[in-house]
Chains A and B, each alone.
Chain A
Amino acid sequence: MTPGHLVMIAIGGLLIWLAIRKEYEPALLLPIGFGAILANIPFSAAVMPGGVLELLHRAGIATELFPVLIFVAVGAMMDFSPLLQNPILMVFGAAAQFGVFFTMLLAAVAGFPLKEAAAIGVIGAADGPTSIYVASIFAPRLLGPISVAAYSYMSLVPIIQPPVIRFLTSRADRRIVMTYRRQDISRTTLILFPIVVTVIAGLVAPISVPLIGMLMFGNLIRECGVLERLSRAAQEELANLVTLLLGITIGSTMRAETFLTADTLLILLMGLAAFVMDTAAGVVFAKLLNLFLPQKINPMVGAAGISAFPMSARVIARMALKENPQNYILMHAAGANVAGQIGSIMAGGLILALVR
């Protein structure tokens, strides 16, 4: 056993501790941590050719199957009503993806080849499955650090976003009141929305169809109203099973010889930059829109345009209530947040389409 193996086993232990004691994305970080331990036991049969984790990696990650199946589950859990009630929020889901492209540039300046830089940038999509999907195609050697960075920072959204928002907004900005008027959405609209989105996204970036298509397939199952049992199965059994296998398989890629490098440290730093820039871009874009809109938008809603759902929406709603106990912007923030889910997949799809 080398010192590297010991360090990696300690890192695995740290991830398990973070999952249990701090409850940072426990469903992912715990299996990842344990997978890291399994992979770093010298001569571990689990990761040898034909070993169970090597087999899972070949079947679920190399084929991109696990992240795509996760999207069916996520789609079945998503309620797009807040976005359908206030469709202007869609633009925040796009603006907050700036961190993806900024981080890609940062990684290129740091000396990473274009495809690896693109995969690192996708950490800024704040969406674990998209990060894994793109990394497994563009940067298989960086899959471990990219996944750990993506999931760790997603769980740190309540710590990362507030200081960035406070730095970019005045108290008056944060106190902008947004009234919420409930509007009913017809069942036909709810059913057609996932189909229309899939077709539009597929026309813009055909390579994004597996991602957006599976997300919207899950959502169609949820909204159609006649597949209650399948919808529940996607939300519970499928989500739990694939998450379990995905986590431990990702963990098994974290071997000392590939993980303990300066690249990993750089990726963790750039992941943080990605989340900061996502938040900043969302806020700045909302402030820019406010120059033209008669009815002002609370700029904090722009920061909810990242994909970390529903954590980001909750953080923003809490911040608004702290500034003004009468200002309930949860539904607006939730709308921007689900738009971020679509935006992050589009960002991943466009990266795959544009980077050659």
Chain B
Amino acid sequence: MTVPWVNWDTVLASLRVMGWGMAGIMITALAFWGAIVMLRRAFPPRGAVGETPPDLRVDKQA
């Protein structure tokens, strides 16, 4: 099928950009997600560091 105004090379290049682009953006998003999780673990809010979890306190009392 020939469509006069369509440049198939451009369409193919767009498809390639779509594939790489969506893959790239998803991988970056996952990297950001991982970074947030690591930052939160490494720097918990004040008061949370060194706090003994309640279940352990119960064990010690027992």
A4 to B38, CA, bound (A): 58
A188 to B33, CA, bound (A): 17
Residues of A within 8 A of B22 (CB): 94, 97-98, 101
Size band of the A side of the interface? 35 or more
Contact at A200–B43, with CB atoms within 8 Å?
A: no
A94 to B30, CA, bound (A): 9
Interface residues of A in 150-203 (CB under 8 A from B): 183-186, 188-189, 192-193, 196-197, 200-201
Contact at A111–B5, with CB atoms within 8 Å?
A: yes
Contact at B28–A200, with CB atoms within 8 Å?
A: yes
Residues of B within 8 A of A90 (CB): 29-30, 32-33, 36
Interface residues of B in 1-28 (CB under 8 A from A): 5-7, 10-11, 13-18, 20-22, 24-28
Tell me which of A101, A183, A342, A351 has the highest count of chain B C-beta atoms within 10 A of its own C-beta: A101
- Judge if A84 is at the interface, Cβ distance under 8 Å: yes
Contact at B35–A105, with CB atoms within 8 Å?
A: no
Contact at A347–B10, with CB atoms within 8 Å?
A: no
Contact at B21–A189, with CB atoms within 8 Å?
A: no
A236 to B3, CA, bound (A): 51
- Judge if B46 is at the interface, Cβ distance under 8 Å: yes
Contact at A342–B40, with CB atoms within 8 Å?
A: no
Residues of B within 8 A of A192 (CB): 39, 43
The one of B13, B15, B18, B36 that contacts A87, using a Cβ cutoff of 8 Å: B36
Residues of A within 8 A of B50 (CB): none
- Judge if B44 is at the interface, Cβ distance under 8 Å: yes
A94-B25, A101-B22, A102-B18 known; A114-B36 Cβ under 8 A: no
A108 to B5, CA, bound (A): 10
Contact at B17–A193, with CB atoms within 8 Å?
A: no
- Judge if B53 is at the interface, Cβ distance under 8 Å: no
A101-B17, A109-B11, A186-B44 known; A193-B29 Cβ under 8 A: no
A285 to B31, CA, bound (A): 18
How close is B3's CB to chain A, nearest CB, in angstroms? 8
Residues of A within 8 A of B54 (CB): none
A87-B36, A350-B21, A354-B20 known; A104-B43 Cβ under 8 A: no
Residues of A within 8 A of B39 (CB): 84, 188-189, 192-193, 196
A109 to B31, CA, bound (A): 33
A87-B37, A201-B28 known; A186-B45 Cβ under 8 A: yes
Residues of A within 8 A of B26 (CB): 91, 94-95
The contact string, 1 if C-beta is below 8 Å from chain B, for chain A 325-356, is 00000000000000100110011001100110
Which B residues lie at the A interface, using CB under 8 A?
5-7, 10-11, 13-18, 20-22, 24-33, 35-37, 39-40, 43-46, 48
- Top 10 nearest A-B pairs (CB, nearest first) are A94-B29, A184-B45, A101-B18, A111-B5, A87-B36, A188-B43, A108-B14, A105-B14, A186-B45, A90-B33
With A186-B46, A351-B17 given, name 18 new contacts (CB 8 A). Answer: A84-B40, A87-B33, A88-B33, A91-B29, A91-B30, A94-B29, A101-B17, A101-B22, A111-B7, A113-B7, A114-B13, A118-B17, A186-B43, A189-B39, A196-B39, A200-B32, A200-B35, A201-B28
Which A residues lie at the B interface, using CB under 8 A?
83-84, 87-88, 90-91, 93-95, 97-98, 100-102, 104-105, 107-114, 117-118, 183-186, 188-189, 192-193, 196-197, 200-201, 204-205, 339, 342-343, 346-347, 350-351, 354-355
